[in-house]
Structure formats: C-alpha cells, structure tokens
Amino acid sequence: MSDPIRLALVGMGKIANDQHYPALTSDADFDLVACVDRDGSCLAHLPYFVTIQELAESGLTVDAVAICTPPQVRHDIAQFALEQGWHVLLEKPPGATLAEVVALRETAQDRGLALLASWHSRFAPCVDQAREWLAGREIKSGRIVWREDVRVWHPRQHWIWEPGGFGVFDPGINALSIATHILPDPMFVEQSELFFPGNCSAPIAAQVRFRDRKGALIAMDLDFRQEGKQSWDIVIETAGGTLTLSNGGADISTTGAPPPPRDDVLPGEYSALYRRFAELVRNSSCDVDVRPLRLVADAFLCGRITRVDDFIE
C-alpha cells in the first residue's frame, strides 16, 4: 500500500481529540476519512457514524481504524473491524482483559492484518535512550512514581471507575509500558495494595512491589489524588550509576556515563506512534505486547484491598 492509509477514528473522546486527531492530520501516511461515536461527537468536516456497523454498511472505503473507546467495549469493535479486513490500532490499555487482547492478536495474524497495541508512552523522546543506557547494566533497585489529578486528566469519565476501567492503572500502565521496555530483565509482582473508594469499582491509588528476575526491587507508587505538581517519574539505580526518566519519559538524566544521543526522535508521542502503525500496515504485521497489561492483572490478583473515602468529582 503506497497511497495514504484511509483511517476512521472510533470513539471521539478526549484522547482522540487531544492526541490522535492532531497526529493524523499532520501525517502524510494517513487520510482521516470518518469518525464513529455513539454520543454524537464528531469533527464537523468528516462523515459521522454512530456505530462501526453503520460505517461498514455505508460503503465508505476504509483501510484502518483507530479505536479510542473505553476498554470495556474495545474488543467487539476491534473484532468487527478485523472481520471487515481493516487494520486496527488500539488505544491503551488495549482491552479490558488479557484474553481479549490475545484473541484479537490471533485474529489479526490469521487474517494477515496489522494490529497495534499502542503503548504511546514508549514513544516519549527519551525512552529509547534509557533502554540503551540500561542495557547490560546490573539493576540494583527502581522506583516508579506516577501521581496525577484524575479531575484534570479524566474529567467526568465515569467508565474509568467501573470494572474493566482500570482506575489509577489507566495512567499507571503507561509507566509499566516504559518499564517493561527499558529494563533488561522481566519483573514480577511480589505484593500490591489497592486503594478503592467506597463508591468505585476501580482503585484510586496503588502501591505495588515488583522484583526482577535477578532480585532487584522496583517499587511503584500510583495515585489519582495528586494536586499541584504532577509526577511521572522512573528512577533506576544500577551498579554503574542512576538513571532518571521524568515527565513521562520526556526528560532523562544519569550519573556516571551519559545516555547515548539520538537524532531520530519525532516530536510528539502520537506522531511516532502513527509512524509505527503505518509501518505495520504496510507490512501487514502485528505489534501486540501484553506485558504491561499482564503486570496490571497480576497486581489485581495479588492485591490487598483497602477502602478509602468516596470519590466525589
């Protein structure tokens, strides 16, 4: 496929408007041809459909879809899209359960279609520098602090508090997508404490302790109640110095040897993400890494639940 990839956005919420639309409209590899949204939200200049079934029945030519709905409904939409022969990009988290995501990967592979589980934080400017710096180093310990104000980042998004909505693990999985990418050894949940508001079915905060295969402790602190300065930081202590990724992977600092320079970083995570999706579409291949989702599932499996005050928006 050498012509622009004709893509429809499915789910026109905050992330689609803030990130996907700007990235798509500045990328010559894509032609944004339609939007789908059950609540009637659409970009005025594009054809609009309430459901993906309506899009398929319209006869409009579509090559791919980017699914930006809440995770609870993502599997059925993605499965339908793959059955139409459309390539699929899944906003993170890629599904409500591991089984859903694995099944979609199998469908895409069987049909020779592209499927991308879009861990957008891996495309932050300094993440690959961190990965290269850590390669071959002995990890001593790590700390992940991801604290943000849910009222700022997820205003009136009630789905996030429902089963399958992930709660504080919706941003927390971004940190895990970075950690699983940069650390040289796999890590495993050792224990977790999940803090549930009395009126919610998903946690508002979490403390998780991981150990990697060689015994290094990585502590994770997640909190949706942060006011003022927000924190998206990963600090890794090694035998050869300390690496700090801050601002969600946008900034890097080290003690000891400096990180290797890179000159191939695109401005904006989603611009790099769509470049990756275009590569997958051209090659009809899949990039579906379930490790971040698996760690979230394990945190729930191992979790001790502590009840906290009701969440009032």
pLDDT tens readout for residues 19-65: 999 999 999 999 999 999 988 767 768 899 999 999 999 999 999 99
Identify the domain boundary among 118, 138, 166: 118
SS3 sequence, the chain?
A: CCCCEEEEEECCCHHHHHHHHHHHHCCCCEEEEEEECCCCCCCCCCCEECCHHHHHHCCCCCCEEEECCCHHHHHHHHHHHHHCCCEEEEECCCCCCHHHHHHHHHHHHHHCCCEEEECHHHHCCCHHHHHHHHCCCCEEEEEEEEECEHHHHCCCCHHHHCCCCCCCHHHHHHHHHHHHHHCCCCEEEEEEEEEEECCCCCCCEEEEEEEECCCCEEEEEEECECCCCCEEEEEEEECCEEEEEEHHHCEEEECCCCCCCCCCCCCCHHHHHHHHHHHHHHHCCEECCCHHHHHHHHHHHCEEEEEECCCCC
Q: What are 201-231's pLDDT values in tens digits? A: 999 999 999 999 999 999 999 999 999 999 9
How many structural domains comprise the chain? 2
Confidence check: pLDDT of 256 > 90: no
Identify whether 64 is part of a domain: yes
- Mean pLDDT score of the chain, rounded to an integer? 94
Q: Are residues 24 and 113 in the same domain?
A: yes
Q: How far apart are CA 1 and CA 176, in angstroms?
A: 33
Q: Are residues 234 and 220 in the same domain?
A: yes
Identify the domain boundary among 96, 118, 140: 118
Q: Are residues 159 and 304 in the same domain?
A: yes
Q: Are residues 129 and 112 in the same domain?
A: no
Strands 30-36 and 5-10: parallel
Which pLDDT belongs to residue 7? 97
Enter the pTM of the model: 0.94
Instruction: Using pLDDT thresholds of 50, 70 and 90, give the confidence band for residue 264.
Output: low
Structural domain of 303: 122-264+296-308
Of 60 and 258, the one with more pLDDT: 60
Identify whether 280 is part of a domain: no
- CATH code at 222? 3.30.360.10
Which one is catalytic: 14, 92, 140, 229?
92
Which pLDDT belongs to residue 43? 73
Q: What are 157-197's pLDDT values in tens digits? A: 999 999 999 999 999 999 999 999 999 999 999 999 999 99
Respond yes or no: is residue 229 known to be catalytic: no
Q: Are residues 87 and 155 in the same domain?
A: no
- CATH code at 54? 3.40.50.720
When mean pLDDT is compared across 42-51, 149-158, 304-313, the lowest value belongs to 42-51
